[in-house]
Amino acid sequence: MATGNQMITTVQNENPGKKVKMNKIGNDITTKFQEAMHSNKEFIKALIFIGKNIIESINLPDCIKKLGYEWGEIGEEGLYLVKKASNSLIKIDCVRFDILGMFSIQKILSSLGIKIPNLPNLNIINTILNISSIDLLSPLKQILDAFDIECISKVDKWEEEDYVLNCLRKKR
């Protein structure tokens, strides 16, 4: 797996004289979310696991083409997508595993009537989720039966240490 820096170096070496720009899609969202979830590392690990499984469930060449990129690669932190933005600029977008996992959960929870506020609508992530063949709804329904939904719905308390973890441990 390539890291972001390795990917930039590889693309730069293959395209001398062109400027390479990398954008981590939804990175500011991750920062805010991680600050609120600082003590709940297991949740972040679960998001990464879900994101990796979503990426592994898609036909990568078809996904890359549908998203409008020339090529892509699964790397250490997510799916790297590459396209020429102009004659002198190559753009690399990184769809991080944790962001993809978070948006997949948000999409499923929304369909169950549980709203997670203030998440933007990112077309690239929606497209990947629509292409994915992974079924997260069935296992999520089993998970939802194991914890206190009323507790977890109090988003304003998520930044309290171990609040989310304790909600997940509570049974109705």
Contact 64/92 with Cβ under 8 angstroms?
no
> What pLDDT, on the 0 to 100 scale, is given for residue 22?
80
Residue type, 137: L
Higher per-residue confidence, 31 vs 2: 31
pLDDT in tens, 67-82: 999 999 999 999 999 9
pLDDT at 29: 72
Q: How many whole angstroms from its chain centre is CA 139?
A: 18
Round to whole Å and give the CA distance between 11 and 3. 12
Start-to-end C-alpha separation, the chain:
42
User: Residue 172's pLDDT band (boundaries 50, 70, 90)?
Assistant: very low
Specify the DSSP class assigned to residue 135: -
User: Residue 158's pLDDT is what?
Assistant: 84
- pTM of the full structure: 0.61
> How is the beta sheet containing 89-96 ordered, strand by strand?
19-25, 89-96, 78-86, 71-74
CB-CB neighbours of 59 under 10 Å: 11
- Tell me which H or E stretch contains 151: helix 149-152
Q: Which residue has the higher pLDDT, 61 or 116?
A: 61
Output the pLDDT for position 64: 94
Q: What is the DSSP letter of 53?
A: H
pLDDT computed for residue 59 by the predictor: 92
Question: What band does 116 get if pLDDT is binned at 50, 70 and 90?
Answer: confident
